[in-house]
Structure 1
Amino acid sequence: MPHRNAPLTELGRLRLARCVVEDGWPLRRAAERFQVAVTTARRWAGRYRQCGAAGMSDRSSRPHHSPRRTPTRTERRIIKVRLLRRWGPARIAYLLGLHPSTVHRVLTRYRLTRLTHLDRATGRTIRRYEHPAPGDLIHVDIKKLGNIPDGGGHKAHGRQAGGRNSSAHRDPDRPRTHHGRPNLGYGYLHNAIDDHSRLAYTEILPDETKQSATAFWQRAQAFFTGHGITVRRVLTDNGSCYRSRLWRETLTKAGITHKRTRPYRPQTNGKAERYNRTLLDEWAYAQPYTSEAERRAALPAWLHAYNHHRGHTALNGLPPASRVPNLTGQNS
């Protein structure tokens, strides 16, 4: 297709060329008639003589010869290093004595997959999937998070002041396991995220036992059900709480199929792993909290913003609420 400022379409070029070649119009007269330059009229008339009506289409502006193009042997070396070592343009350039932009152009020219789209272990392209409807698959995972001492930790005040706040911690229920080292304890983020809509539900619990995981799932299932989502499958890792009889019986009683990831393959549960990273970046470490209570108080507001307002790249910039049929409860 011609560009937006082109005075002639393919049909206009054909009419101009026929006026010159078949009707014998002078080039200047044809150029004035179609309001183009004489050189333009000459070009389309010449193409018509050479190729007929097929010559009126646009041609690539790529040159026929590129004497300064990277040699084929060098291109093959770049591709070989990329496939064998899975390095980026900069590291390949340092190894081969080239400029990183040259390596990047070669990789782009041959349409080699970005490293972020490759499995580091096998080098194969990551297969990304998305179930067609909400509830077809729910990803469940647990993230262990260290508690913040009262007054703030090292992220808020630096190592020296944060260390003093941590050392001042005295909790009789959590004795020190090492001399001089405080035992602040951990919070366990139990997360459930819908594969299709990315609607998420999170709770902070004191442990990751089978009783806590099962109770969390019952509340998470009620959350999804309340928003019009019928859960059919649940995907977890191979943690002990998810291999327990209590967990299995709870899902079976609800008519839910339990699926587990392959051992040592967290990529299978990638949506939950990515959600964990989002939690850390945008909530857990988003600001210098002065206490664990302050950080936990900020979770419900962040979770609401994530589900209702935060644009998701996998959803073309729309929030998870845009894919949930009954998020506001208007159909209940």
Structure 2
Amino acid sequence: MLHANAALTPAQRLKLARLIVEEGWPTAWAAKFFAVSWTTADRWARRYRAEGKAGMVDRCSRPQTSPAKTNPATTKRIVSLRLRKRWGAVRLAVETGVAPSTAGAVLRRCGISRLSRLERRDQHVVRYERAAPGELLHADVKKLGNIPAGGGWRFLGREQGGANRTADGGRARSRHHHPLIGRGFIHVVLDDHSRVAYAEICEDETGPTAAAVLRRATAWFAARGVTARRVLTDNGGCYRSRDWAGACTELGITPKRTRPYRPQTNGKVERFHRTMTGEWAFAQFFTSEADRRAAFPGWLHAYNHHRPHTGIGGHPPISRLTNLPGQYT
């Protein structure tokens, strides 16, 4: 591949070589004319004599043989220990009798130099989907910092965004000395089978607020023919509260919680958060938090009714709730 400051392209090499070979120019003259060294001009002339036009293209710089390359048996042992023991290059070097730099080169060549890649390779992904709407709801809260008047740093940059935040936040400061302008708490309840989502933007994530959202969400789903049976949440304080437990008992819903530090179990709602922030919260420039919140109901309707969802075959979530009046409007 040609670098940005290459003196000769394949076409220029061909012109240089033909001047020397076919027109009889001295190599020194041709080199001076094309502003390259004598050895460079001579090399392309020799290649043209031997291979013709085909010899003007770039060649791989890798050597034909690598006698100092780590032998296959040692490479295999390094990889085996890495996969089984998760050892780093220094420990692997001690065990296999090579230099740490050699062990590191082997790990990079085999694509296992980072443990994060190694974990993804070994991880067994279990996918599931409930057979009918309402069998399992996923609930979670997404926290987003409010946008100051005039716009935030994502679109205006750190300097202007910080100035807007200071003007909007007044003298109140966080423990990191940032102006306080508050946060929005988006409570989401999502159906496992259909991926239809109910969401509200609230001012806190307390137990009473989460319980009230659950009551309104189940009523919203019931109006669309979905009877909630179970709800899965993380171990947040609002989901461990008496208010949440009381609401579940009142609604006849069985509450379930994920194993601590395993957000993958509640992955469908976590993926919804990513879609929501990418397509609504940070998708365009909002000059205030009020403007962003005003755009939320429209985006949520588009998500449920019109946006194709790859997890259900490219259809919008509402298509899995059949016989609903106006579901395609």
> Please, what TM-score do these two structures have when normalized by structure 1?
0.64
Residue 95 in structure 1 maps to residue 101 in structure 2: no
- Give the match for residue 302 of structure 1: 299
Residue of structure 1 equivalent to 2:320: 323
2:204 to 207, 217, 224: 207
Q: Is 1:244 matched up with 2:241?
A: yes
Summarize the Cα distance change of 1:258–1:119 in structure 2 as closer, same or farther, 3 Å threshold: farther
Deviations 1:256-302 (A, max 9, x none): 11111111211111111111111111111111221111111111111
Cα 1:287–1:85 change in 2 (3 A) is farther
Residues 147, 185 of structure 1: 8 Å contact kept: yes
Summarize the alignment of residues 174-323 of structure 1 with structure 2, pairs less than 5 Å apart.
175-177=172-174, 181-323=178-320
Q: How far did 1:245 drift?
A: 1.5
Query: Residue 169 in 1 paired to residue 168 in 2?
Result: yes
8 Å CA contact 1:138, 1:193 repeated in 2? yes
C-alpha displacement at 1:171, in angstroms? 6.1
Q: Quick check: 2:281–2:292 contact (8 Å CA) kept in 1?
A: yes
Q: Distance in 1 between matches of 2:315 and 2:85?
A: 38
Over 3 Å counting, the alpha-carbon distance change for 1:81 and 1:311 in structure 2 is: farther
2:157 paired residue number: 158
Q: Is the 8 A contact 1:167 1:180 kept in 2?
A: no
Q: Which residue of 2 aligns with 1:108?
A: none
How many residues are paired up?
A: 241
Match of 2:127 in 1: 128
Are residues 158 and 73 of structure 1, via their aligned partners in 2, closer, same or farther at CA, if it must alter by over 3 Å?
same
- Aligned counterparts of 1:310 and 1:72: Cα–Cα separation in 2: 53
Distance change >3 Å, CA 230–CA 72, structure 1 → 2: farther
Q: In structure 2, do the counterparts of structure 1 residues 315 and 257 end up closer, same or farther at CA, with 3 Å as the change threshold?
A: same
Note if contact 1:135-1:231 (Cα within 8 Å) is conserved in structure 2: yes
Which sections of structure 2, spanning at least 5 residues, go unmatched?
1-70, 89-102
- Report what 1:41 is aligned to: none
C-alpha displacement of 1:169: 1.2
1:59-138 equivalent positions in 2, closer than 5 A: 78=79, 81=82, 85=86, 95-96=105-106, 123-138=122-137
| 2-structure distance, mates of 1:180, 1:76 | 52
Q: Secondary structure at the match of 1:278?
A: helix
CA distance in 2, matches of 1:284, 1:98: 38
> What runs of 5+ residues in structure 1 fail to find an aligned partner?
1-69, 88-92, 105-113
Aligned-CA RMSD value: 3.1
Equivalent pairs: percent with the same residue? 52
2 CA distance for matches of 1:214 and 1:86? Answer: 47
Q: Deviations over 1:134-162 (max 9, x none)?
A: 11000000011100000001112111111
| CA 1:209–1:159: 2 relative to 1, 3 Å | same
- The answer to whether the 8 Å contact 2:133/2:321 transfers is yes
Amino acid aligned to 2:271: R
Contact 1:232–1:257 at 8 Å: present in 2 too? yes
What letter corresponds to residue 258 of structure 1 in structure 2? P
Shift of 1:239: 1.3
1:6-45 to structure 2, matched below 5 A, reads none
Q: Is the 8 A contact 1:119 1:126 kept in 2?
A: no
Change (3 A) 1:197 1:97: closer
Aligned to 1:140: 139
